[in-house]
């Protein structure tokens, strides 16, 4: 199964190889460098390195994944794709917590973040590709998890060209078809649109700025002490 996912991502990387970067780049104001974690602290309150802080993004995601594994909803060697993964520190923390997992990151800025060499050395697989291609494709079998943190909530700040105006709806359709569990940071308006798809939803806590992190799935969600069901508080 992991080889099928790698082949899929390699095809996306090949599709991006000879294209003009500026024709596809949607968030040119994204910080490229170690300062991205400074922005994370400003937006979330804690950096992605602080795994001992239970409010950090990776700490909450890892806790959620552990609950799913414990309840037999996903295997221990799960697959996860982080879309527009940035410095990939969240994905790196997941790989460290679950060494047998297949952890993939897709970002058009692959290799430009100082920490990419480190995360790849520790087993994270990164691919250079554009979400314009990703969201128009299908993968079989689906990933166990997909993530799109910070960027998903920021469609309004993306430099979408006229032919890219359908990307948000294409993204929603891609998540529904290609991931069993999708973790996104969303605005209240976006949450309503995703609920309209009939997906099960679980509040995972604070996102960036005024967004919330939610899991969306057609599959069962875990019943636990943590289950702040569908309220957006």
Can you tell me the mean pLDDT for 120-126? 98
Confidence of residue 220 (pLDDT cuts 50, 70, 90): confident
Structural domain includes residue 45: no
CATH code (residue 113): 3.40.50.150
Residues 6+ apart with CB under 8 A from 194: 172, 184, 186, 201, 214, 216
* pLDDT tens for each residue of 83-99: 999 999 999 999 999 99
pLDDT at 204: 95
Structural domain includes residue 32: no
Can you tell me the mean pLDDT for 116-137? 97
Structural domain includes residue 29: no
Phi then psi for residue 215, to 5 deg, are -105, 140
Full residue range of the structural domain in which residue 87 is found: 2-14+58-217
Structural domain includes residue 71: yes
Structural domain includes residue 84: yes
Structural domain includes residue 26: no
Assess contact for 40 and 48: CB atoms under 8 A.
yes
pLDDT at 157: 85
Domain total in the chain:
1
Can you tell me the mean pLDDT for 10-36? 89
Structural domain includes residue 40: no
């Amino acid at each position: 199964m992991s080889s099928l996912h790698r082949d899929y991502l390699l095809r996306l990387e090949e599709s991006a190889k000879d294209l003009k970067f500026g024709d596809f780049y949607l968030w040119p104001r994204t910080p490229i460098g170690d300062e991205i974690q400074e922005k994370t602290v400003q937006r979330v309150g804690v950096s992605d390195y602080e795994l001992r802080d239970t409010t950090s993004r990776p700490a909450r995601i890892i806790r959620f994944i552990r609950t799913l594994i414990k309840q037999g909803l996903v295997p221990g060697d799960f697959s996860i794709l982080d879309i527009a993964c940035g410095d990939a520190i969240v994905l790196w923390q997941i790989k460290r917590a679950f060494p047998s997992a297949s952890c993939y990151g897709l970002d058009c800025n692959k290799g430009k973040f100082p920490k990419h060499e480190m995360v790849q050395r520790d087993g994270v697989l990164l691919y250079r590709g554009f979400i314009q291609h990703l969201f128009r494709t299908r993968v079989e079998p689906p990933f166990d998890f997909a993530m799109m943190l910070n960027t998903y909530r920021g469609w309004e700040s993306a430099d979408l060209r006229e032919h890219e105006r359908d990307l948000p709806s294409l993204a929603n359709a891609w998540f529904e078809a290609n991931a069993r569990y999708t973790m996104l940071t969303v605005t209240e308006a976006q949450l309503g649109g995703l609920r309209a798809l009939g997906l099960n939803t679980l509040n995972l806590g604070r996102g960036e700025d005024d967004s919330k992190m939610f899991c969306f799935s057609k599959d069962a969600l875990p019943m636990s002490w943590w289950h702040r069901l569908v309220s957006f508080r």
